[in-house]
Amino acid sequence: MTRLIRLWPLAAALCLFAADAYAKKPANVFKGKIIMSTTPFPARFSSDKRFISHMRKVDTKTFTYAEDAESINIEFMAFFRRPYGGTEFPAMVYDVTETRRQVATFPIYPDPTQKSTRILASYARLSKEQFPDETRKYEMVITSGGKIIAKTKFTIRESAAARAERIAEEKALKKGSVVTF
């Protein structure tokens, strides 16, 4: 019995270190989230710590169309709570500015050499046709079997050129409008 009491602190310390090591894996740190960026992600990282640090650094929640650009290229990496298998993961983007309205849907294909995965990297091209050049809020979700397994919110801000054009139109409407009683 005394031997068991002496080993208890050692067993507790081992459990704490094992839990800490488990928590520092990128899939555990970002579980259920989608990290978005306008720059491509590196093919590999030298350590989990650098992976986590890089993801936090590049995580972007606001995007703006470049001048004369018709689309925005977005790289994203989804982190799941547990491994999921499949040949395709549906991704849906909703406009959540006023109400939740589906704007786009597209498939994401995982690496065919993996049976299941907790991390899924891909990219999307957001065009002005589906995502207008005005300040709007969006939510992106990735599902498996109809269940949301990762999500994020982001904003597309109105570009300076579009804003100047909109303000000029509003001024012209105010100047030319006549109110009669």
CATH number for 114: 2.60.40.1930
Q: Is residue 42 part of a domain?
A: yes
The answer to whether residue 21 is domain-embedded is: no
- CA distances to 92, 100, 163, 174, 175 from 168, rounded to whole Å, are 35, 30, 9, 10, 11
Q: Is residue 17 part of a domain?
A: no
Chain CA centroid to CA 181, Å: 52
* Unique residue bearing structure tokens 């977005």: 74
14 in a structural domain = no
Estimate the share of the chain in helix, then strand, then coil, as percent rounded to the nearest 5: 30, 40, 30
Is 126 domain-assigned?
A: yes
Residue 136 belongs to what domain range? 29-176
Is residue 24 a part of any domain in this protein? no
Summarize pLDDT for 75-111 with one digit per residue, the tens.
999 999 999 988 899 999 999 999 999 999 999 999 8
Report the chain (181 residues): mean pLDDT per 10 consecutive residues: 51 48 80 95 92 95 87 94 92 94 93 87 91 89 94 88 73 66 57
d(CA 117, CA 115): 7
CA distance 128 to 70: 6
Tell me how far the alpha carbon of residue 110 is from its chain's centroid.
16
Number of domains in the chain: 1
Q: Indicate whether this model's pTM tops 0.95.
A: no
Question: Is residue 11, in this structure, part of any structural domain at all?
Answer: no
